[in-house]
């Protein structure tokens, strides 16, 4: 086996080119990582740009007019993304989520959806295709996306009160337009629609109950996400995290809830249902209740770097394999070589940051430069 590890540091994040095993034929069909976790979900970030400046994700002071976003030539083409996705599907991926930045800012995204929808699992099925969006241009895009083969959308919305929402997105974007996007997604058949609300104590926690009451009985599944220490720019503090248990307690006091069983292994949200049958909500407690044990997600950035954890400090340069890498004299690899290299990357994975957060190893990881949420998607 050739051990070709070439550290490449660019103006974004450190990554090394995965080694290509000499014996490509012995790559496992369904690789598992060091903790026996299979590969099941692939999140593909299609752009590092966004029209919002959510304070917890792309704070204005950092992501200002001087910030260097990636040039278009550095982004994976739709053909490159589809090729990588096809290989990932041969390794176990069944669900693909498009994210960003704001994925709907990537031109003709529906064409990529159509290409991914054309892929097949070894069982002959298309992948489950979803999208996470801030909803700002969803009203315009929902039907096109559905027609191209998108199954579902998750819309991020952090407040129902217009003033509170404008403060959270920090670009004065009105809540009504996002609600219009959610309605368009429902009308287009992109349901069940999920709505993600990041809860930041002191910023929007007063919106928990209004949000719950707005979506109760509509079929939309509202999920509350604990504010996470992802990236290095949001100035995260533990005292701004509102534990999910408190979210549940607040809603339960007004509308009784009971817990539900998870839909599937590796599901990030814990599900709760209203006792009166008005639907369900979810909580994603990455800070107070780590769920690394079942984490089956890989993340591919817009420039083709693969990350095995949301809190990763180091990526694997898949684009160098797809395109070849003049800096190291690497030629583009075959599908078989790509498959073997990716299988090897997954089998060596030992990421579990949320479980380590309070420990010395976790603190050491926090001290390093970690990928930003706007780069790698949620």
Query: Where do contacts with ligand SF4 occur on this chain (CB under 6 A)?
Result: 50, 52-54, 57-58, 100-102, 134, 156, 286, 291-292, 295, 297, 309-311, 351-354, 373-374
CB of 350 to ligand SAM, least distance (A): 23
- Cβ–Cβ under 8 Å, residues 170 and 55: yes
State the binding partner of 130 from ligand SF4, ligand SAM, none, CB within 5 to 8 A by kind.
none
| Phi and psi at residue 131, to the nearest 5° | -145, 135
Could you tell me the smallest distance in angstroms from the CB atom of residue 21 to ligand SAM? Answer: 33
CA dist 16 and 330 (Å) reads 13
Which one of ligand SF4, ligand SAM, none is in contact with 339 (Cβ closer than 5 to 8 A by kind)?
none
Nearer to ligand SAM, 156 or 354 (CB): 156
Q: Select the binding partner of residue 196 from ligand SF4, ligand SAM, none (C-beta < 5 to 8 A, by kind).
A: ligand SAM
The DSSP call for residue 348 is T
In contact, 33 and 91? CB cutoff 8 Å: no
Residue among 90, 89, 110 at smallest CA distance from 153: 110
Number of neighbouring beta carbons within 10 Å of residue 120: 12
- Tokens 């504010």 -> residue: 227
Smallest distance, ligand SAM to C-beta of residue 291, A: 14
Question: Which is closer to ligand SAM, CB of 133 or CB of 337?
Answer: 133
* Binding partner of 224, given ligand SF4, ligand SAM, none, CB within 5-8 angstroms per partner class: none
Cα separation, 205 vs 200, in Å, equals 6
* Partner touching 215 among ligand SF4, ligand SAM, none, CB below 5 to 8 Å by kind: none
Task: Write the secondary structure of 53-114 as one string of H (helix), E (strand) and C (coil).
Answer: CCCCCCCCCCCCCCCCCCCHHHCCCHHHHHHHHHHHHHCCCCEEEEECCCHHHCCCHHHHHH
Q: Could you tell me the smallest distance in angstroms from the CB atom of residue 101 to ligand SAM?
A: 6
Task: Give the nearer residue to ligand SF4 in terms of CB position, either 216 or 299.
Answer: 299
**In the complex, least distance from residue 234 CB atom to ligand SAM, rounded to whole angstroms:** 5
């Amino acid at each position: 086996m050739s051990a070709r590890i070439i550290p490449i540091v660019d103006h974004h994040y450190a990554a090394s080119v995965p080694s290509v095993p000499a014996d490509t034929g012995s790559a496992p069909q369904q690789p598992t990582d060091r903790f026996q976790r299979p590969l099941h979900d692939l999140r593909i970030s299609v752009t590092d740009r966004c029209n919002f400046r959510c304070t917890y994700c792309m704070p204005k002071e950092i992501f200002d007019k001087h910030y260097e976003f990636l040039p278009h030539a550095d982004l994976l083409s739709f053909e490159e993304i589809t090729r990588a996705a096809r290989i990932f599907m041969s390794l176990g991926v069944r669900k693909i989520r498009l994210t960003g930045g704001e994925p709907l800012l990537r031109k003709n995204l529906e064409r990529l959806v159509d290409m991914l929808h054309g892929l097949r699992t070894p069982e002959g099925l298309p992948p489950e295709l979803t999208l996470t969006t801030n909803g700002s241009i969803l009203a315009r895009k929902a039907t096109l996306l559905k027609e191209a083969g998108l199954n579902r959308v998750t819309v991020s919305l952090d407040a129902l009160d217009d003033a509170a929402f404008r403060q959270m997105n920090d670009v004065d974007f009105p809540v009504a337009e996002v609600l219009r996007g959610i309605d368009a997604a429902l009308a287009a058949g992109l349901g069940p629609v999920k709505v993600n609300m990041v809860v930041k104590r002191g910023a929007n926690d007063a919106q928990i109950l209004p949000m719950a009451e707005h979506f109760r009985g509509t079929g939309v599944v509202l999920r509350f996400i604990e504010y996470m220490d992802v990236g290095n720019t949001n100035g995260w503090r533990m005292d701004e995290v509102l534990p999910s248990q408190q979210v549940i307690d607040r809603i339960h006091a007004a509308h009784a809830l009971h817990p539900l069983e998870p839909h599937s292994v590796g599901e990030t949200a814990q599900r709760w249902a209203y006792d009166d049958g008005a639907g369900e909500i979810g909580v994603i407690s990455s800070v107070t209740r780590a769920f690394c044990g079942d984490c089956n997600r890989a993340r591919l950035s817009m420039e083709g770097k693969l990350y095995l954890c949301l809190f990763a400090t180091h990526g694997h340069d898949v684009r160098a394999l797809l395109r070849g890498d003049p800096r190291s004299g690497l030629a583009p690899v075959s599908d078989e070589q790509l498959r073997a290299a990716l299988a090897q990357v997954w089998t060596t994975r030992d990421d579990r940051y949320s479980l380590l957060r309070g420990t010395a190893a976790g603190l050491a990881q926090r001290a390093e430069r970690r990928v930003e949420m706007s780069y790698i998607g949620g």
